[in-house]
Homo-oligomer: A and B are copies of this chain.
Amino acid sequence: MNLRRDDFAALDANDPLAPFLARFHRPKDLLYFDGNSLGMLPEAARRRAIETVEREWGQGLIESWTAARWIDLPEKVGGKIAKLIGAGADEVIATDSTSINIFKLLAGGLKLRPGRRVILTEAGNFPTDIYMAEGLAHLTGDVEVRLADDVVPAITEDVAVVMLTHVDYRSAALHDMAAVTSAAHAQGALVLWDLSHSAGALPVDLGEADFAVGCGYKFLNGGPGAPAYLYVARRWQKAFSQPLSGWLGHAAPFAFELHYRPAAGIKRAISGTPSVIAMSLLDASLDLLIEAGMHRIRDKAQKQMDLFAELVDARCTEAGLKLITPRDHAERGSHLSFSHPQGYELTQALRERKVVPDFRAPDVIRFGFTPLTLSYVDVWDAVGRLAEIWHDGLWRDPRYSVKAAVT
């Protein structure tokens, strides 16, 4: 490998997505590889924040529920997310957090599979997915949360819902969505996919999947703690019910009826009043992903990940970073994870040198690839700084070994 910085600059010059870089607030000199944890701020979201706060809230006040169509935001934002995940606009709604939405769909799934009381997932799933299932099991008293290392062979006839995260948050390994969905259906089980690390990162095709959830603040660039979303396949929407049955999921929320009566379609998955300001920002941010197109985003991310991995091989040989993400394009999401005994210290040293990956205990450094906010030169420079840190022994600075919360 004889690449030089100029070669990366040339890639940028020919990159059809390069104009998107200027539409985000990219702090000067910062090489940000953590868009998989918190996406960067689009200028459109910044403008929308001001518009929503100053004009819609400040001037429009209560009338904005109708005049600014706040009341339609969950469906409107859901419809945009639907475009990214191969769903119909009427199958997705933006609401609450990923955790809360998992609870709704697990409970709803169990109701659709009477007689079956097992939720099957993998031990390596993102913790909150497992914790929410445990909460449901604790509440109902008769639900089992079964953990498997390899899920497909573990799908037995007592399984009501198979819950998996499409892209592993640690290794970026990608599940074969169609194959798992099909295996679950063969046993009469439903499937719930967590798309938190795949929607906005790669083209998702939910196919025959029953349910999905995902997060708004990672690849969707919706801002810290942005609202999440959920998907219920059209064929289930009539029979689907969920226990967090708040007033805005009611068929006639402003009729103030005595008893709950679910709204038609996906709206019954809403609980309380939507977080209007947060949802408006997500609404604005999604337009950029849709405009760029998920296939172009995916192509650039794969190329950037290939180059990053090659550069690490070539320039950080002695560092002994072990790539735990598959090199095969078809088998990975949009981050590269390296394990290293001093992973924590390296992450801290990188951050001080203005390269931002993140760290996942016990020893994983994750570099997220978000092509709308990362140039090819960023890739070159990041590996350059990593190589320097290693060669100069900077990571040995005792400051970096202080364990603090790395979010």
Residues of A within 8 A of B (CB): 25, 27, 30, 32, 34, 37-38, 40-41, 45-46, 49-50, 53-54, 56-59, 61-66, 70-71, 96-100, 103, 107, 123, 126-128, 130-132, 134-136, 138-140, 147, 215, 217, 223-228, 241-248, 250, 253-260, 271-279, 281, 351, 356, 358, 360-361, 404-407
Contacts and interface: CB of A to CB of B under 8 A. Distances in A.
B97 A135 contact: no
Contacts of A241: 138
Contacts of A279: 225
A288 to B, nearest CB: 15
Contacts of A63: 351, 356
10 contacts: A45-B53, A49-B277, A98-B272, A99-B271, A131-B245, A135-B245, A139-B139, A226-B275, A275-B275, A277-B278
A303 to B, nearest CB: 24
Contacts of A258: 123, 127, 130, 147
A248 B64 CA distance: 32
Contacts of A271: 97, 99-100, 132
Contacts of A247: 99, 126-128, 131
Ordered nearest first, which 10 A-B pairs have the shortest CB separation? A97-B272, A99-B246, A99-B272, A135-B245, A224-B276, A128-B247, A139-B243, A41-B58, A65-B407, A131-B260
Given A57-B41, A138-B241, A358-B62, A275 B225 contact: yes
A281 B279 CA distance: 14
Nearest to A42: B58
Given A138-B241, A225-B274, A226-B275, 20 more contacts: A25-B54, A25-B58, A40-B61, A41-B53, A45-B53, A62-B356, A66-B404, A66-B407, A70-B224, A97-B273, A98-B273, A99-B272, A99-B273, A100-B244, A131-B246, A134-B259, A134-B260, A138-B245, A225-B277, A275-B275
A59 B25 contact: yes
B135 A225 contact: no
A97 B101 CA distance: 13
Contacts of A243: 103, 135-136, 138-139
Nearest to A270: B99
A351 B66 CA distance: 14
B356 A61 contact: yes
Contacts of A228: 272
Count of this chain's copies in the oligomeric assembly: 2
Given A140-B140, A407-B66, A61 B49 contact: no
A120 B9 CA distance: 68
A406 B63 CA distance: 8
Contacts of A275: 225-227, 275, 278
B281 A277 contact: yes
A277 B224 contact: yes
Given A99-B244, A260-B130, A407-B254, A225 B140 contact: no
A38 B53 contact: no
A223 B138 CA distance: 35
A350 B293 CA distance: 47
A62 B34 contact: yes
Contact of A61 (B32, B123, B225, B360): B32
A370 to B, nearest CB: 12
Contacts of A49: 49-50, 53, 277
Contacts of A351: 63
B272 A100 contact: yes
B46 A53 contact: yes
B61 A27 contact: yes
